[in-house]
Chain A
Protein backbone atom coordinates (compact mmCIF):
# COMPACT_ATOMS: atom_id res chain seq x y z
CA UNK A 1 0.00 0.00 0.00
CA UNK A 2 1.08 3.58 -0.62
CA UNK A 3 0.30 4.89 2.86
CA UNK A 4 2.90 7.18 4.45
CA UNK A 5 3.34 4.60 7.22
CA UNK A 6 5.08 2.24 4.79
CA UNK A 7 7.49 4.95 3.63
CA UNK A 8 8.97 5.97 6.98
CA UNK A 9 12.49 4.96 5.99
CA UNK A 10 12.39 7.41 3.07
CA UNK A 11 11.19 10.15 5.44
CA UNK A 12 13.99 9.40 7.91
CA UNK A 13 16.64 9.40 5.16
CA UNK A 14 15.27 12.62 3.66
CA UNK A 15 15.24 14.33 7.06
CA UNK A 16 18.73 13.15 8.03
CA UNK A 17 20.28 14.24 4.71
CA UNK A 18 18.60 17.64 4.49
CA UNK A 19 19.20 18.31 8.21
CA UNK A 20 22.90 17.71 7.70
CA UNK A 21 22.97 19.93 4.57
CA UNK A 22 21.07 22.81 6.19
CA UNK A 23 23.30 22.64 9.26
CA UNK A 24 26.50 22.70 7.18
CA UNK A 25 25.30 25.65 5.12
CA UNK A 26 23.42 27.83 7.56
CA UNK A 27 24.57 27.15 11.12
CA UNK A 28 27.62 29.25 11.78
CA UNK A 29 27.80 30.75 15.27
CA UNK A 30 30.09 33.70 15.92
CA UNK A 31 33.30 32.55 17.65
CA UNK A 32 32.50 28.86 17.15
CA UNK A 33 30.32 28.56 20.25
CA UNK A 34 26.60 29.08 20.76
CA UNK A 35 23.64 28.07 22.86
CA UNK A 36 21.04 25.62 21.54
CA UNK A 37 18.50 28.43 21.14
CA UNK A 38 20.84 30.43 18.88
CA UNK A 39 21.50 27.36 16.73
CA UNK A 40 17.74 26.77 16.40
CA UNK A 41 17.15 30.38 15.43
CA UNK A 42 19.76 30.01 12.70
CA UNK A 43 17.78 27.05 11.35
CA UNK A 44 14.89 29.42 10.64
CA UNK A 45 16.61 32.46 9.25
CA UNK A 46 18.85 34.13 11.85
CA UNK A 47 22.42 34.99 10.95
CA UNK A 48 24.69 34.59 13.96
CA UNK A 49 22.87 36.32 16.79
CA UNK A 50 21.02 38.65 14.39
CA UNK A 51 17.43 37.71 13.59
CA UNK A 52 16.19 37.32 10.00
CA UNK A 53 16.07 40.66 8.16
CA UNK A 54 13.44 41.68 5.64
CA UNK A 55 15.81 42.38 2.73
CA UNK A 56 15.38 40.17 -0.38
CA UNK A 57 18.64 38.20 -0.08
CA UNK A 58 17.90 37.17 3.51
CA UNK A 59 14.34 36.20 2.60
CA UNK A 60 15.69 34.16 -0.31
CA UNK A 61 18.04 32.38 2.09
CA UNK A 62 15.10 31.78 4.43
CA UNK A 63 13.33 30.11 1.51
CA UNK A 64 16.43 27.92 0.91
CA UNK A 65 16.40 26.93 4.59
CA UNK A 66 12.81 25.77 4.15
CA UNK A 67 13.79 23.44 1.29
CA UNK A 68 13.48 20.32 3.53
CA UNK A 69 9.97 21.40 4.53
CA UNK A 70 8.91 21.86 0.88
CA UNK A 71 10.42 18.48 0.02
CA UNK A 72 8.66 16.74 2.91
CA UNK A 73 5.32 18.38 2.00
CA UNK A 74 5.70 17.10 -1.56
CA UNK A 75 6.53 13.58 -0.38
CA UNK A 76 3.90 13.18 2.35
CA UNK A 77 1.34 14.99 0.18
CA UNK A 78 2.01 12.54 -2.68
CA UNK A 79 1.74 9.53 -0.43
CA UNK A 80 -1.50 10.65 1.15
CA UNK A 81 -3.07 11.51 -2.22
CA UNK A 82 -1.84 8.22 -3.69
CA UNK A 83 -3.32 6.24 -0.83
CA UNK A 84 -6.55 8.18 -1.12
CA UNK A 85 -6.71 7.32 -4.86
CA UNK A 86 -6.25 3.64 -4.04
CA UNK A 87 -8.66 3.77 -1.12
CA UNK A 88 -11.34 5.36 -3.33
CA UNK A 89 -11.44 2.15 -5.31
CA UNK A 90 -10.46 -0.64 -2.93
CA UNK A 91 -11.50 0.60 0.53
CA UNK A 92 -14.44 2.99 0.18
CA UNK A 93 -16.33 0.40 -1.86
CA UNK A 94 -16.34 -1.83 1.24
CA UNK A 95 -16.03 0.58 4.19
CA UNK A 96 -18.58 3.36 4.47
CA UNK A 97 -16.88 5.14 7.40
CA UNK A 98 -14.75 7.46 5.31
CA UNK A 99 -14.27 10.03 8.09
CA UNK A 100 -12.88 7.38 10.41
CA UNK A 101 -10.47 6.28 7.69
CA UNK A 102 -9.38 9.88 7.14
CA UNK A 103 -8.84 10.57 10.85
CA UNK A 104 -6.60 7.51 11.08
CA UNK A 105 -4.63 8.62 8.01
CA UNK A 106 -4.43 12.19 9.31
CA UNK A 107 -2.89 10.98 12.58
CA UNK A 108 -0.39 8.87 10.63
CA UNK A 109 0.46 11.94 8.54
CA UNK A 110 0.90 14.02 11.70
CA UNK A 111 3.15 11.32 13.14
CA UNK A 112 5.21 11.15 9.94
CA UNK A 113 5.65 14.93 9.91
CA UNK A 114 6.72 14.83 13.57
CA UNK A 115 9.18 12.03 12.78
CA UNK A 116 10.58 14.04 9.85
CA UNK A 117 11.01 17.15 11.98
CA UNK A 118 12.53 15.21 14.91
CA UNK A 119 15.10 13.47 12.69
CA UNK A 120 15.77 16.73 10.84
CA UNK A 121 16.43 18.58 14.12
CA UNK A 122 18.55 15.73 15.50
CA UNK A 123 20.63 15.57 12.34
CA UNK A 124 21.08 19.36 12.10
CA UNK A 125 21.93 19.77 15.79
CA UNK A 126 24.29 16.79 15.81
CA UNK A 127 26.15 18.17 12.79
CA UNK A 128 26.33 21.56 14.52
CA UNK A 129 27.56 19.95 17.75
CA UNK A 130 30.35 18.15 15.86
CA UNK A 131 31.49 21.39 14.20
CA UNK A 132 30.96 23.87 17.03
CA UNK A 133 30.59 24.04 20.78
CA UNK A 134 26.85 23.93 21.46
CA UNK A 135 25.68 24.45 25.04
CA UNK A 136 22.30 23.00 26.01
CA UNK A 137 20.15 24.97 28.45
CA UNK A 138 16.45 24.88 29.41
CA UNK A 139 15.48 27.76 27.09
CA UNK A 140 17.09 25.92 24.17
CA UNK A 141 15.08 22.78 24.92
CA UNK A 142 11.82 24.77 25.11
CA UNK A 143 12.57 26.42 21.77
CA UNK A 144 13.49 23.01 20.30
CA UNK A 145 10.10 21.64 21.35
CA UNK A 146 8.34 24.70 19.89
CA UNK A 147 10.29 24.26 16.61
CA UNK A 148 9.32 20.59 16.46
CA UNK A 149 5.61 21.26 17.07
CA UNK A 150 5.15 24.28 14.79
CA UNK A 151 6.97 22.75 11.80
CA UNK A 152 5.12 19.46 12.29
CA UNK A 153 1.81 21.33 12.15
CA UNK A 154 2.92 23.30 9.10
CA UNK A 155 4.09 20.22 7.16
CA UNK A 156 0.84 18.43 8.02
CA UNK A 157 -1.24 21.42 6.92
CA UNK A 158 0.56 21.77 3.60
CA UNK A 159 0.40 18.01 2.92
CA UNK A 160 -3.36 18.09 3.50
CA UNK A 161 -3.63 21.08 1.17
CA UNK A 162 -1.69 19.21 -1.55
CA UNK A 163 -4.13 16.30 -1.18
CA UNK A 164 -7.22 18.53 -1.31
CA UNK A 165 -6.04 20.45 -4.37
CA UNK A 166 -4.72 17.31 -6.11
CA UNK A 167 -8.23 15.86 -6.17
CA UNK A 168 -9.40 18.86 -8.17
CA UNK A 169 -6.29 19.89 -10.13
CA UNK A 170 -4.01 16.87 -10.26
CA UNK A 171 -0.87 16.41 -8.14
CA UNK A 172 1.50 18.62 -10.18
CA UNK A 173 -0.73 21.71 -10.17
CA UNK A 174 -1.66 21.08 -6.53
CA UNK A 175 1.96 21.15 -5.44
CA UNK A 176 2.72 24.20 -7.60
CA UNK A 177 -0.19 26.09 -6.03
CA UNK A 178 0.73 25.04 -2.48
CA UNK A 179 4.41 25.90 -2.86
CA UNK A 180 3.53 29.07 -4.80
CA UNK A 181 1.32 30.20 -1.93
CA UNK A 182 4.17 29.76 0.54
CA UNK A 183 6.58 31.61 -1.79
CA UNK A 184 4.03 34.40 -2.11
CA UNK A 185 3.85 34.78 1.67
CA UNK A 186 7.66 34.99 1.82
CA UNK A 187 7.81 37.52 -1.04
CA UNK A 188 5.07 39.56 0.66
CA UNK A 189 7.47 40.26 3.54
CA UNK A 190 9.94 42.03 1.27
CA UNK A 191 8.05 45.37 0.88
CA UNK A 192 8.01 45.63 4.70
CA UNK A 193 11.76 46.27 4.53
CA UNK A 194 10.96 49.93 3.83
CA UNK A 195 8.95 50.35 7.02
CA UNK A 196 11.01 47.99 9.19
CA UNK A 197 12.06 50.90 11.46
CA UNK A 198 8.45 51.08 12.60
CA UNK A 199 8.65 47.74 14.40
CA UNK A 200 5.14 47.90 15.86
CA UNK A 201 3.51 48.38 12.45
CA UNK A 202 5.79 45.82 10.78
CA UNK A 203 5.07 43.32 13.57
CA UNK A 204 1.35 43.88 13.23
CA UNK A 205 1.48 43.13 9.47
CA UNK A 206 3.89 40.21 9.87
CA UNK A 207 1.65 38.62 12.50
CA UNK A 208 -0.87 37.86 9.72
CA UNK A 209 1.74 36.18 7.53
CA UNK A 210 1.87 32.42 8.34
CA UNK A 211 5.43 32.10 7.05
CA UNK A 212 6.57 34.79 9.52
CA UNK A 213 5.22 32.58 12.29
CA UNK A 214 7.85 29.96 11.41
CA UNK A 215 10.78 32.28 12.16
CA UNK A 216 12.05 31.50 15.66
CA UNK A 217 14.05 34.73 15.86
CA UNK A 218 10.90 36.85 15.52
CA UNK A 219 9.08 35.24 18.44
CA UNK A 220 8.71 36.65 21.90
CA UNK A 221 7.44 34.97 25.06
CA UNK A 222 6.89 35.65 28.74
CA UNK A 223 7.61 32.04 29.70
CA UNK A 224 9.97 32.04 32.71
CA UNK A 225 11.71 28.95 31.27
CA UNK A 226 12.93 31.01 28.33
CA UNK A 227 14.81 33.31 30.68
CA UNK A 228 14.60 36.33 28.36
CA UNK A 229 16.43 34.45 25.58
CA UNK A 230 14.12 35.71 22.80
CA UNK A 231 14.68 39.29 21.65
CA UNK A 232 12.03 39.76 19.01
CA UNK A 233 12.11 43.10 17.20
CA UNK A 234 8.40 42.72 16.40
CA UNK A 235 6.07 42.84 19.41
CA UNK A 236 2.99 41.15 17.86
CA UNK A 237 4.52 37.70 17.31
CA UNK A 238 4.59 35.33 20.27
CA UNK A 239 5.49 31.64 20.64
CA UNK A 240 2.02 30.65 21.87
CA UNK A 241 0.24 32.90 19.33
CA UNK A 242 2.22 31.33 16.48
CA UNK A 243 1.39 27.83 17.68
CA UNK A 244 -2.29 28.75 17.82
CA UNK A 245 -2.24 30.41 14.39
CA UNK A 246 -0.46 27.52 12.64
CA UNK A 247 -2.60 25.04 14.59
CA UNK A 248 -5.77 26.71 13.27
CA UNK A 249 -4.39 26.60 9.70
CA UNK A 250 -3.57 22.91 10.18
CA UNK A 251 -7.07 22.18 11.47
CA UNK A 252 -8.65 24.11 8.59
CA UNK A 253 -6.60 22.18 6.01
CA UNK A 254 -7.41 18.88 7.76
CA UNK A 255 -11.12 19.76 7.79
CA UNK A 256 -10.98 20.58 4.06
CA UNK A 257 -9.22 17.29 3.35
CA UNK A 258 -11.73 15.43 5.53
CA UNK A 259 -14.59 17.07 3.66
CA UNK A 260 -13.12 16.02 0.30
CA UNK A 261 -12.58 12.44 1.48
CA UNK A 262 -16.11 12.30 2.90
CA UNK A 263 -17.99 13.71 -0.07
CA UNK A 264 -15.84 13.45 -3.21
CA UNK A 265 -15.99 10.35 -5.38
CA UNK A 266 -12.56 10.19 -6.96
CA UNK A 267 -13.54 7.15 -8.99
CA UNK A 268 -15.72 9.47 -11.10
CA UNK A 269 -13.01 12.08 -11.83
CA UNK A 270 -9.39 11.05 -11.72
CA UNK A 271 -7.60 14.24 -12.68
CA UNK A 272 -4.21 12.49 -12.75
CA UNK A 273 -5.22 10.31 -15.68
CA UNK A 274 -7.59 12.62 -17.51
CA UNK A 275 -5.12 15.25 -18.64
CA UNK A 276 -5.26 17.44 -15.54
CA UNK A 277 -2.00 19.30 -14.90
Chain B
Protein backbone atom coordinates (compact mmCIF):
# COMPACT_ATOMS: atom_id res chain seq x y z
CA UNK B 1 0.00 0.00 0.00
CA UNK B 2 2.84 2.37 0.90
CA UNK B 3 4.44 1.69 -2.48
CA UNK B 4 1.15 2.54 -4.17
CA UNK B 5 0.75 5.83 -2.31
CA UNK B 6 4.39 6.72 -2.98
CA UNK B 7 3.92 6.08 -6.69
CA UNK B 8 0.67 8.06 -6.68
CA UNK B 9 2.32 11.00 -4.90
CA UNK B 10 5.19 10.88 -7.40
CA UNK B 11 2.75 10.84 -10.30
CA UNK B 12 0.77 13.83 -8.94
CA UNK B 13 4.02 15.74 -8.43
CA UNK B 14 5.11 14.90 -11.96
CA UNK B 15 1.78 15.96 -13.48
CA UNK B 16 1.80 19.25 -11.56
CA UNK B 17 5.27 20.05 -12.88
CA UNK B 18 4.20 19.60 -16.52
CA UNK B 19 3.84 22.74 -18.63
CA UNK B 20 0.15 22.09 -19.34
CA UNK B 21 -0.67 22.11 -15.60
CA UNK B 22 1.43 25.24 -15.06
CA UNK B 23 -0.20 27.05 -18.02
CA UNK B 24 -3.70 26.11 -16.82
CA UNK B 25 -2.83 27.29 -13.30
CA UNK B 26 -1.68 30.67 -14.64
CA UNK B 27 -4.78 31.00 -16.84
CA UNK B 28 -6.98 30.40 -13.78
CA UNK B 29 -4.85 32.81 -11.77
CA UNK B 30 -5.33 35.43 -14.51
CA UNK B 31 -9.11 34.98 -14.25
CA UNK B 32 -8.91 35.35 -10.47
CA UNK B 33 -6.62 38.38 -10.45
CA UNK B 34 -8.52 40.27 -13.15
CA UNK B 35 -11.78 39.64 -11.30
CA UNK B 36 -10.27 40.65 -7.94
CA UNK B 37 -8.71 43.86 -9.31
CA UNK B 38 -11.99 44.86 -10.95
CA UNK B 39 -13.90 44.21 -7.72
CA UNK B 40 -11.41 46.31 -5.72
CA UNK B 41 -11.78 49.20 -8.19
CA UNK B 42 -15.58 48.95 -8.26
CA UNK B 43 -16.22 48.52 -4.55
CA UNK B 44 -13.48 50.60 -2.94
CA UNK B 45 -14.89 52.97 -0.35
CA UNK B 46 -18.33 51.29 -0.32
CA UNK B 47 -20.31 51.43 2.90
CA UNK B 48 -20.58 48.05 4.67
CA UNK B 49 -24.39 48.17 4.45
CA UNK B 50 -24.27 48.81 0.71
CA UNK B 51 -21.50 46.28 0.14
CA UNK B 52 -22.02 42.85 -1.43
CA UNK B 53 -21.06 39.73 0.56
CA UNK B 54 -17.41 39.22 -0.56
CA UNK B 55 -17.87 35.56 -1.52
CA UNK B 56 -20.52 36.59 -4.03
CA UNK B 57 -17.80 38.44 -5.95
CA UNK B 58 -15.72 35.31 -6.63
CA UNK B 59 -15.13 34.16 -10.21
CA UNK B 60 -17.13 31.03 -9.37
CA UNK B 61 -20.15 32.99 -8.13
CA UNK B 62 -23.15 32.83 -10.46
CA UNK B 63 -24.39 35.99 -8.75
CA UNK B 64 -21.86 37.81 -10.97
CA UNK B 65 -24.20 37.21 -13.92
CA UNK B 66 -26.28 40.04 -12.42
CA UNK B 67 -23.29 42.37 -12.56
CA UNK B 68 -20.23 42.60 -14.82
CA UNK B 69 -20.21 39.05 -16.07
CA UNK B 70 -17.60 39.02 -18.83
CA UNK B 71 -15.04 37.13 -16.68
CA UNK B 72 -17.58 34.50 -15.61
CA UNK B 73 -18.97 34.27 -19.15
CA UNK B 74 -15.51 33.65 -20.59
CA UNK B 75 -14.76 31.13 -17.82
CA UNK B 76 -17.99 29.16 -18.38
CA UNK B 77 -17.26 28.95 -22.10
CA UNK B 78 -13.63 27.90 -21.83
CA UNK B 79 -14.03 25.57 -18.81
CA UNK B 80 -15.00 22.40 -20.80
CA UNK B 81 -11.69 22.68 -22.67
CA UNK B 82 -9.59 23.93 -19.77
CA UNK B 83 -10.57 21.09 -17.44
CA UNK B 84 -8.91 18.51 -19.68
CA UNK B 85 -5.71 20.47 -20.20
CA UNK B 86 -3.68 20.11 -16.93
CA UNK B 87 -3.52 16.32 -16.76
CA UNK B 88 -6.33 14.75 -18.80
CA UNK B 89 -4.09 14.16 -21.81
CA UNK B 90 -1.14 12.67 -19.92
CA UNK B 91 -2.04 8.99 -20.30
CA UNK B 92 -2.69 9.39 -24.04
CA UNK B 93 0.64 11.22 -24.43
CA UNK B 94 2.46 8.51 -22.46
CA UNK B 95 0.98 5.88 -24.72
CA UNK B 96 2.03 7.84 -27.82
CA UNK B 97 5.54 8.64 -26.67
CA UNK B 98 6.41 5.39 -24.91
CA UNK B 99 7.05 6.06 -21.17
CA UNK B 100 4.14 3.72 -20.46
CA UNK B 101 6.43 0.86 -21.58
CA UNK B 102 8.88 1.52 -18.75
CA UNK B 103 6.23 2.00 -16.08
CA UNK B 104 4.09 -0.94 -17.20
CA UNK B 105 7.10 -3.26 -17.11
CA UNK B 106 7.98 -2.01 -13.61
CA UNK B 107 4.64 -1.92 -11.80
CA UNK B 108 2.22 -3.73 -14.11
CA UNK B 109 -0.39 -2.39 -16.47
CA UNK B 110 -3.24 -2.32 -13.95
CA UNK B 111 -1.37 -0.40 -11.25
CA UNK B 112 0.09 1.97 -13.83
CA UNK B 113 -3.32 2.91 -15.23
CA UNK B 114 -4.98 3.22 -11.83
CA UNK B 115 -2.18 5.50 -10.63
CA UNK B 116 -2.31 7.54 -13.82
CA UNK B 117 -6.10 8.06 -13.76
CA UNK B 118 -6.18 8.73 -10.01
CA UNK B 119 -3.17 11.04 -10.32
CA UNK B 120 -4.91 12.93 -13.14
CA UNK B 121 -7.96 13.49 -10.93
CA UNK B 122 -5.89 14.65 -7.95
CA UNK B 123 -3.63 16.94 -10.00
CA UNK B 124 -6.66 18.56 -11.67
CA UNK B 125 -8.32 18.94 -8.27
CA UNK B 126 -5.25 20.82 -7.01
CA UNK B 127 -4.93 23.03 -10.11
CA UNK B 128 -8.63 23.93 -10.03
CA UNK B 129 -8.83 24.59 -6.28
CA UNK B 130 -5.76 26.65 -5.34
CA UNK B 131 -6.45 29.78 -7.48
CA UNK B 132 -10.04 30.00 -6.24
CA UNK B 133 -9.09 29.37 -2.61
CA UNK B 134 -6.54 32.15 -3.04
CA UNK B 135 -9.24 34.45 -4.39
CA UNK B 136 -11.41 33.58 -1.40
CA UNK B 137 -8.60 34.57 0.98
CA UNK B 138 -7.93 37.79 -0.96
CA UNK B 139 -11.62 38.74 -0.86
CA UNK B 140 -11.73 38.01 2.88
CA UNK B 141 -8.77 40.32 3.38
CA UNK B 142 -9.90 43.10 1.04
CA UNK B 143 -13.65 43.35 1.69
CA UNK B 144 -15.71 43.51 4.91
CA UNK B 145 -17.02 40.08 5.86
CA UNK B 146 -19.95 41.69 7.70
CA UNK B 147 -21.45 42.82 4.41
CA UNK B 148 -24.52 40.80 3.41
CA UNK B 149 -25.72 42.34 0.14
CA UNK B 150 -26.07 40.55 -3.19
CA UNK B 151 -25.63 41.51 -6.83
CA UNK B 152 -29.25 40.96 -7.83
CA UNK B 153 -31.78 43.73 -7.38
CA UNK B 154 -33.61 41.71 -4.70
CA UNK B 155 -33.57 42.60 -1.01
CA UNK B 156 -32.47 39.86 1.41
CA UNK B 157 -36.00 39.99 2.90
CA UNK B 158 -37.65 39.47 -0.46
CA UNK B 159 -39.54 36.11 -0.69
CA UNK B 160 -38.14 35.63 -4.23
CA UNK B 161 -34.62 35.92 -2.81
CA UNK B 162 -35.43 33.37 -0.09
CA UNK B 163 -36.81 31.00 -2.73
CA UNK B 164 -33.62 31.46 -4.77
CA UNK B 165 -31.44 30.65 -1.74
CA UNK B 166 -33.38 27.42 -1.18
CA UNK B 167 -32.36 26.40 -4.72
CA UNK B 168 -28.62 26.62 -3.94
CA UNK B 169 -26.74 23.35 -3.93
CA UNK B 170 -25.96 22.76 -0.20
CA UNK B 171 -28.46 25.53 0.74
CA UNK B 172 -28.65 24.15 4.30
CA UNK B 173 -24.96 24.80 4.74
CA UNK B 174 -25.30 28.28 3.23
CA UNK B 175 -27.96 29.19 5.80
CA UNK B 176 -25.66 28.03 8.65
CA UNK B 177 -22.42 29.52 7.36
CA UNK B 178 -22.04 31.27 3.97
CA UNK B 179 -18.26 31.18 4.36
CA UNK B 180 -18.19 27.42 4.87
CA UNK B 181 -20.62 27.09 1.96
CA UNK B 182 -18.19 29.02 -0.26
CA UNK B 183 -15.24 26.90 0.84
CA UNK B 184 -17.14 23.66 0.25
CA UNK B 185 -18.45 25.02 -3.08
CA UNK B 186 -14.93 25.68 -4.33
CA UNK B 187 -13.74 22.25 -3.22
CA UNK B 188 -16.80 20.63 -4.83
CA UNK B 189 -16.07 22.48 -8.07
CA UNK B 190 -12.46 21.24 -7.97
CA UNK B 191 -13.68 17.71 -7.21
CA UNK B 192 -16.01 17.75 -10.24
CA UNK B 193 -13.13 19.05 -12.36
CA UNK B 194 -10.95 16.20 -11.12
CA UNK B 195 -13.66 13.66 -11.97
CA UNK B 196 -14.00 15.04 -15.51
CA UNK B 197 -10.23 14.96 -16.04
CA UNK B 198 -10.02 11.37 -14.72
CA UNK B 199 -12.92 10.47 -17.03
CA UNK B 200 -10.92 11.81 -19.99
CA UNK B 201 -7.81 9.92 -18.92
CA UNK B 202 -9.82 6.71 -18.57
CA UNK B 203 -11.00 7.05 -22.19
CA UNK B 204 -7.37 7.11 -23.31
CA UNK B 205 -6.78 4.04 -21.14
CA UNK B 206 -9.44 2.18 -23.09
CA UNK B 207 -8.58 3.40 -26.61
CA UNK B 208 -5.25 4.51 -27.97
CA UNK B 209 -5.70 8.07 -29.24
CA UNK B 210 -3.01 9.57 -31.43
CA UNK B 211 -4.44 13.05 -31.94
CA UNK B 212 -4.87 14.59 -28.50
CA UNK B 213 -7.54 17.03 -29.72
CA UNK B 214 -10.04 14.15 -29.82
CA UNK B 215 -9.79 13.87 -26.03
CA UNK B 216 -11.27 17.34 -25.57
CA UNK B 217 -14.50 16.35 -27.24
CA UNK B 218 -16.12 13.89 -24.76
CA UNK B 219 -16.17 16.34 -21.84
CA UNK B 220 -16.99 19.28 -24.11
CA UNK B 221 -19.91 17.43 -25.71
CA UNK B 222 -21.11 16.04 -22.36
CA UNK B 223 -21.19 19.45 -20.68
CA UNK B 224 -22.67 21.32 -23.64
CA UNK B 225 -25.38 18.76 -24.31
CA UNK B 226 -26.43 18.97 -20.63
CA UNK B 227 -27.52 22.54 -21.32
CA UNK B 228 -29.77 21.36 -24.13
CA UNK B 229 -32.14 19.62 -21.74
CA UNK B 230 -34.51 20.77 -19.03
CA UNK B 231 -36.48 18.71 -16.54
CA UNK B 232 -40.09 18.81 -15.40
CA UNK B 233 -41.11 21.74 -13.22
CA UNK B 234 -38.46 24.06 -14.67
CA UNK B 235 -35.50 22.03 -13.36
CA UNK B 236 -32.29 23.07 -15.07
CA UNK B 237 -29.81 20.44 -16.23
CA UNK B 238 -27.13 22.76 -17.64
CA UNK B 239 -23.78 21.90 -16.04
CA UNK B 240 -22.93 25.43 -14.91
CA UNK B 241 -25.94 25.53 -12.58
CA UNK B 242 -24.39 22.66 -10.61
CA UNK B 243 -20.71 23.60 -10.71
CA UNK B 244 -20.85 27.20 -9.52
CA UNK B 245 -21.71 28.97 -6.27
CA UNK B 246 -24.84 30.99 -5.43
CA UNK B 247 -26.82 29.60 -8.36
CA UNK B 248 -30.52 30.14 -7.62
CA UNK B 249 -31.97 28.12 -10.51
CA UNK B 250 -34.16 25.12 -9.60
CA UNK B 251 -31.91 22.03 -9.77
CA UNK B 252 -32.23 18.27 -9.53
CA UNK B 253 -29.81 16.70 -7.06
CA UNK B 254 -30.88 13.30 -8.33
CA UNK B 255 -29.69 14.27 -11.84
CA UNK B 256 -26.34 15.45 -10.49
CA UNK B 257 -25.85 12.31 -8.39
CA UNK B 258 -26.89 10.00 -11.24
CA UNK B 259 -24.49 11.71 -13.70
CA UNK B 260 -21.67 11.64 -11.17
CA UNK B 261 -22.18 7.94 -10.43
CA UNK B 262 -22.37 7.09 -14.15
CA UNK B 263 -19.17 9.01 -14.92
CA UNK B 264 -17.35 7.42 -11.96
CA UNK B 265 -18.52 3.92 -12.91
CA UNK B 266 -17.39 4.47 -16.51
CA UNK B 267 -14.04 5.85 -15.33
CA UNK B 268 -13.37 2.86 -13.06
CA UNK B 269 -14.59 0.33 -15.64
CA UNK B 270 -12.54 1.89 -18.47
CA UNK B 271 -9.40 2.05 -16.33
CA UNK B 272 -9.76 -1.58 -15.23
CA UNK B 273 -10.64 -2.76 -18.74
CA UNK B 274 -7.63 -0.92 -20.19
CA UNK B 275 -5.25 -2.43 -17.66
CA UNK B 276 -6.59 -5.99 -17.54
CA UNK B 277 -3.85 -7.35 -19.78
CA UNK B 278 -0.20 -6.94 -18.93
CA UNK B 279 0.84 -6.93 -22.57
CA UNK B 280 2.98 -3.90 -23.25
CA UNK B 281 1.46 -3.04 -26.66
Contacts and interface: CB of A to CB of B under 8 A. Distances in A.
Contact of A176 (B19, B72, B216): B216
B20 A273 contact: no
A25 interface: yes
A92 B65 CA distance: 52
A175 B216 contact: yes
A78 B229 CA distance: 28
Given A172-B89, A190-B70, A272 B97 contact: no
Interface residues of A, number: 39
A84 to B, nearest CB: 12
Contacts of B81: 175-176, 179-180
Nearest to B210: A272
A22 B217 CA distance: 18
B17 to A, nearest CB: 13
B267 to A, nearest CB: 20
Nearest to A174: B213
A273 B224 CA distance: 29
B212 A277 contact: yes
Interface string A77-107: 1100110000000000000000000000000
Nearest to A2: B211
B167 to A, nearest CB: 16
Contacts of B240: 60
A275 B93 contact: yes
Interface of A: 21-22, 24-25, 56-57, 59-60, 63-64, 67, 70-71, 74, 77-78, 81-82, 162, 166, 170-172, 174-176, 179-180, 183-184, 186-188, 190-191, 272-273, 275, 277
22 contacts: A24-B228, A56-B69, A56-B70, A56-B72, A60-B240, A64-B224, A74-B213, A74-B217, A78-B213, A81-B211, A162-B213, A166-B213, A172-B212, A172-B215, A175-B81, A175-B216, A180-B81, A183-B78, A190-B68, A190-B70, A272-B210, A277-B20
Interface of B: 19-20, 23, 65, 68-74, 76-78, 81-82, 85, 89, 93, 96-97, 210-217, 220-221, 224-225, 227-229, 240
